[in-house]
Amino acid sequence: MTGESNDNEAAQRLARVCDRIDRAACNAGRKSEDVVLIAVSKTQGTDDIVPLIHAGQRVFGENRIQEAHAKWPALREVYQDISLHMVGQLQSNKAEEAVALFDFIHSLDRPSLLMAVARAMDKLGRHPPCFIQVNIGDESQKGGCAIDALPALIAAAQGAGIPLAGLMCVPPANVEAAPYFALLAKIARDHDLTGLSMGMSGDYETAVMLGATHIRVGTALFGARK
């Protein structure tokens, strides 16, 4: 496939997703510009990412530190207005690398990680806003803070000087996501947090209608995962 056809296909995919965001936001009485579209580029190579940048996308998400390091420093030398989000699980021993590389972190979920991130921020003088990931479906196999432990983690983050962007969740698979998105939105309101990182390729329109401020979309923008 030529570079021009790659660019055209990427532009078409981006336009389709943006149109659906526009419709969902309109139906909910919201402005689509209040929703940040994060293109999740995990497993995607530079040849797949650059056409989406050419189409106008500037916010990207990665799941793994090592993969992000392999791609983004060089890309950001060329495209300096890129915003990069860490959307995957984060190990405490990788906190300093995450703080150095990413502009947002979406997976703060436990006290040990919180303290590692706070130390990294103090050391580096960088303070990327963080979402606290909530285990909204109470699933033992998933990361995320338990709902009943959330007030203490929010207080600890605030006490440590970590800027909180809001809450993030990944609902259980193969069930209707809306109740979980609605619950996350209620929990955020109860704690005076405005950011909601929720919604992926299969359910981002529902997430937008229920208040998402950040949606994490991969397949709908890049095609099937490699």
**Cβ count near 172 (within 10 Å):** 13
Closest of 155, 163, 145 to residue 105, by C-alpha? 163
Distance CA 216, CA 86 (A): 11
Find the length of the chain.
Answer: 226
All structural domains of the chain: 3-222 (3.20.20.10)
> Distance between CA atoms of 173 and 119, rounded to whole angstroms?
34
pTM of structure: 0.95
d(CA 45, CA 222): 10
pLDDT at 1: 45
> Which pLDDT score is estimated for 223?
82
What is the spatial distance between Cα 67 and Cα 44, in angstroms, rounded to a whole number?
10
Nearest to 206 by CA among 68, 46, 27: 27
Other C-beta atoms closer than 10 Å to the C-beta of 222 total: 22
Residue carrying the six token digits 């299969």: 202
Name residue, tokens 């208040």.
211
Please tell me the predicted confidence (pLDDT) of residue 3: 59
Neighbouring CB atoms inside 10 A of 138's CB total: 12
- Give 10-residue mean pLDDT values along the chain (226 residues): 73 97 98 97 94 97 96 96 97 97 97 98 98 95 93 97 97 95 98 97 97 97 78
